């Protein structure tokens, strides 16, 4: 199985991974470059997950993401929006977004209502913390907690009218989990397959990678690829920052992975002297 790639464009200025303000044209260009590099969809965010700042209003968040969503839809891009606010979800879905990526664990069921009204997809993520709050609960069994929580949220989304076929689950690496707990959860992904829904994995540049490597977010590509090497066969969607590098990695991995994978067409213009060795 080759996972689909979800690129990331942050319309907020305080992303932990790529901070800094950018113009709308720059954001659009970033998204289109990721599509060109191999992304199947773009996840647009208007509020950082960092916990040292408070939530922004739904009005401010919509003001950040809606113009970008509209531009990308006009370009034919499949758009996901990372939000836990029902008002924002309603606005972007009305504009044509295909998916809501709710990192609150569907804390507000009205997000599911918006997805149902617009026949849109919904990512439900595991977390035991409120949005924008750092918390590390005591788990008796963190893998089992993830499975039970997501099963409950799937049922809630379904009861609110979300199409069963459009519900995606995310184990929530680093959200209300220590690096050790995140590693445990990622090692136990087979349990999530039993839920019968596509799995989104967001391991790119995450804290657990930093804990294992001692690297800052911008220096975690190698660690991210290490995680993807092990986890890609468990994922239906990979949410990543470095689309071109991950796409190349998966292409080579697929070609070398076994006789059933086949060898992709190679450029006949490559000559012996072009090889690195």
The CA distance from 163 to 120, in Å, is 8
Tell whether the torsion through CA atoms of 245, 248, 250 and 256 is positive or negative. negative
Q: DSSP alpha helices (H): ranges in the chain?
A: 24-37, 58-74, 86-94, 110-117, 142-159, 179-187, 190-193, 207-213, 221-231, 243-256
Residue written as token pair 């709050």: 133
List 64, 147, 177, 239, catalytic entry:
239
Crossing angle between the packed helical segments 24-37 and 58-74, to the nearest 10 degrees: 50
- 273: which 2 tokens? 């002297």
Crossing angle between the packed helical segments 24-37 and 243-256, to the nearest 10 degrees: 10
Q: DSSP alpha helices (H): ranges in 75-164?
A: 86-94, 110-117, 142-159
Asked whether the beta carbons of 251 and 264 are under 8 A apart, the reply is yes
Indicate if 239 belongs to the active site: yes
The CA-CA-CA angle for residues 187, 100, 54, to 5°, reads 85
Give the HSE-up count for residue 215: Cα atoms under 13 Å, Cβ half-sphere: 16
Indicate if 177 belongs to the active site: no
Q: Give strand pairing partners of 101.
A: 82, 123
- 112: which 2 tokens? 């599911």
List 128, 153, 206, 220, catalytic entry:
206
The CA distance from 78 to 158, in Å, is 23
Positions annotated as catalytic residues are: 206, 239
């Amino acid at each position: 199985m080759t996972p689909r790639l979800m690129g990331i464009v942050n319309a907020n200025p305080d992303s932990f991974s790529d901070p800094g303000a950018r113009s709308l044209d720059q954001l659009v260009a970033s998204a289109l470059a990721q599509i060109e590099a191999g992304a199947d969809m773009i996840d647009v965010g208007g509020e950082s997950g960092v916990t040292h700042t408070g939530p922004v209003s739904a009005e401010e968040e919509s003001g950040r993401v809606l113009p970008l969503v509209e531009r990308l839809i006009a370009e034919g891009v499949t758009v996901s929006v990372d939000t836990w606010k029902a008002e924002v979800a309603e606005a972007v879905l009305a504009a044509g977004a295909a998916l809501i990526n709710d990192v609150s664990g569907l804390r507000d069921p009205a997000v599911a209502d918006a997805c149902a009204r617009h026949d849109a997809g919904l990512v439900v993520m595991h977390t035991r913390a409120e949005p924008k709050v750092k918390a590390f609960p005591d788990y008796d069994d963190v893998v089992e907690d993830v499975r039970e929580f997501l099963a409950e949220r799937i049922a809630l989304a379904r009861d609110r009218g979300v199409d069963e076929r459009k519900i995606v689950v995310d184990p929530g690496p680093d959200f209300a989990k220590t690096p050790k707990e995140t590693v445990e959860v990622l090692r136990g992904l087979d349990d999530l397959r039993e839920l019968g829904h596509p799995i989104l994995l967001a391991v790119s540049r995450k804290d657990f990678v930093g804990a294992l490597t001692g690297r800052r977010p911008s220096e975690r590509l190698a660690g991210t690829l290490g995680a993807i090497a092990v986890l890609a066969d468990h994922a239906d969607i990979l949410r990543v920052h470095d689309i071109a590098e991950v796409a190349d990695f998966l292409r080579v991995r697929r070609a070398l992975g076994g006789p059933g994978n086949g060898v992709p067409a190679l450029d006949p213009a490559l000559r012996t002297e072009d090889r690195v060795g």
